[in-house]
């Protein structure tokens, strides 16, 4: 074995210069988030496999899983959201609302790419419990301030899981199909509108010649989803009004929109305008966990790397 191949493929050593940069980023984020009342948390690298399998089938394939010497099936954490849920369940005496940030490595068995590694640092911000949604506005404002201080061009998108649930009602889709529909919508940025619509219907053949199965929704249902998907991108008030009009009469969606109006008002009061933080009803962020407001930040020009920061509200 040559000395260069001693290191595992897809993994990386961080040399001093990179470590100083990484520390600068981490310290900036810590400082800003703590000034907004978030507290640090760390959870173990290893969790029970039963806990980690909550991610769904696709993610499960990317989890480093094995049997430990006790004969317990375990895995390396895939993100910081599922460990947070496990943490909350393991600490029934936790005082809610619990606002935490977490900066730790996660592991994903993924195709290694330049700039894409199998171990990388995640920074997560979440609120657990029943605080006012104004807190979500403050979180998004803190994310904006942190990214401003780091001098990276960024764009935050936020939404509310209640709106996606409302869409299912609006389009008359069977509840058992909801998650599959969300999973397809979640791919919008990656695969584009045309393929999303095809996958909602009859499916398509991708570039590698593989057949992607469709969900076989009716044309009228797909049309309603298409309309919904077209609503993002403008001023926050405009998007929210359009959503309110579209999902008029669906109680859960109306509640979600009302919460987003409150978030938007907090953002405006804290001088975070639409160019920095926009309503995007298509984002889902971890399909099974969040119950309310969700948000994620991207670096402008670096969208292909996915979100650099994200979080949301979980009301247990």
Cα–Cα distance measured from residue 183 to residue 166, given in angstroms and rounded to the nearest whole number: 16
* Pairing assessment for the beta strands 98-107 and 39-40 based on DSSP bridges: parallel
Whose Cβ is closer to a copy of itself: residue 50's or residue 230's?
Answer: 50
Using rule CB under 8 A, residue 48 touches a copy of itself = yes
Which residue in the set 24, 31, 35, 39 belongs to the binding site for a copy of itself (CB under 8 A)? 39
Using rule CB under 8 A, residue 12 touches a copy of itself = yes
Using rule CB under 8 A, residue 7 touches a copy of itself = yes
Using rule CB under 8 A, residue 36 touches a copy of itself = no
Using rule CB under 8 A, residue 45 touches a copy of itself = yes
Using rule CB under 8 A, residue 59 touches a copy of itself = no
Using rule CB under 8 A, residue 53 touches a copy of itself = no
Using rule CB under 8 A, residue 212 touches a copy of itself = no
**211: exposed, middle or buried (C-beta count within 10 Å: 0-12, 13-18, 19+)?**
exposed
Q: Which residues, other chains included, contact 144 with Cβ-Cβ below 8 Å and sequence gap of 6+?
A: 154, 156, 272, 276, 277
Cα–Cα distance measured from residue 267 to residue 136, given in angstroms and rounded to the nearest whole number: 9
Do the beta carbons of residue 65 and residue 98 sit within 8 Å? no
Rounded to the nearest 10 degrees, what angle do helices 236-246 and 251-269 cross at? Answer: 170
Cα–Cα distance measured from residue 311 to residue 10, given in angstroms and rounded to the nearest whole number: 26
Using rule CB under 8 A, residue 150 touches a copy of itself = no
Whose Cβ is closer to a copy of itself: residue 67's or residue 315's?
Answer: 67
Chain residues in the site for a copy of itself (CB under 8 A): 1, 3-4, 6-9, 11-16, 19-20, 23, 39-48, 50-51, 61, 64, 66-70, 72, 74, 76, 86-87, 89-92, 100, 105, 107, 109, 118-119
């Amino acid at each position: 074995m040559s000395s260069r191949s001693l290191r595992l493929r897809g993994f990386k050593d961080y040399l001093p210069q990179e470590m100083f940069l990484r520390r600068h980023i981490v310290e900036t984020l810590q400082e800003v988030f703590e000034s907004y009342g978030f507290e640090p948390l760390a959870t173990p690298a290893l969790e029970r496999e039963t806990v980690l399998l909550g991610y769904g089938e696709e993610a499960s394939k990317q989890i480093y899983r094995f049997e430990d010497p006790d004969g317990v099936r375990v895995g390396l954490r895939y993100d910081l959201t599922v460990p947070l849920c496990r943490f909350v369940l393991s600490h029934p005496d936790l005082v809610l609302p619990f606002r935490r940030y977490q900066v730790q490595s996660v592991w994903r068995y993924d195709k290694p790419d330049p700039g894409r590694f199998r171990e990388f640092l995640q920074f997560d911000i979440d609120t657990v419990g029943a605080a006012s949604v104004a807190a979500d506005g403050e979180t998004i404002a803190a994310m904006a301030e942190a990214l401003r201080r780091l001098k990276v061009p960024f764009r935050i998108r936020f939404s509310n899981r209640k709106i996606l649930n409302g869409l299912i009602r609006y389009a008359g889709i069977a509840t058992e199909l909801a998650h599959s529909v969300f999973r397809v919508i979640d791919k919008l940025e990656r695969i584009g509108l045309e393929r999303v619509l095809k996958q909602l219907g009859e499916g398509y053949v991708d570039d590698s010649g593989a057949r992607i199965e469709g969900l076989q929704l009716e044309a009228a249902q797909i049309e309603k989803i298409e309309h919904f998907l077209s609503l993002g991108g403008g001023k926050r008030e405009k998007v929210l009004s359009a959503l309110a009009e579209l999902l008029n009469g669906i109680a859960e969606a109306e509640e979600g929109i009302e919460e987003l109006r409150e978030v938007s008002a907090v953002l405006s009061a804290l001088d975070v305008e639409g160019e920095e933080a926009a309503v995007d009803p298509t984002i889902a962020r971890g399909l099974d966990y969040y119950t309310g407001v969700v948000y994620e930040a991207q670096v402008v020009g670096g969208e292909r790397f996915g979100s650099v920061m994200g979080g949301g509200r979980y009301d247990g």
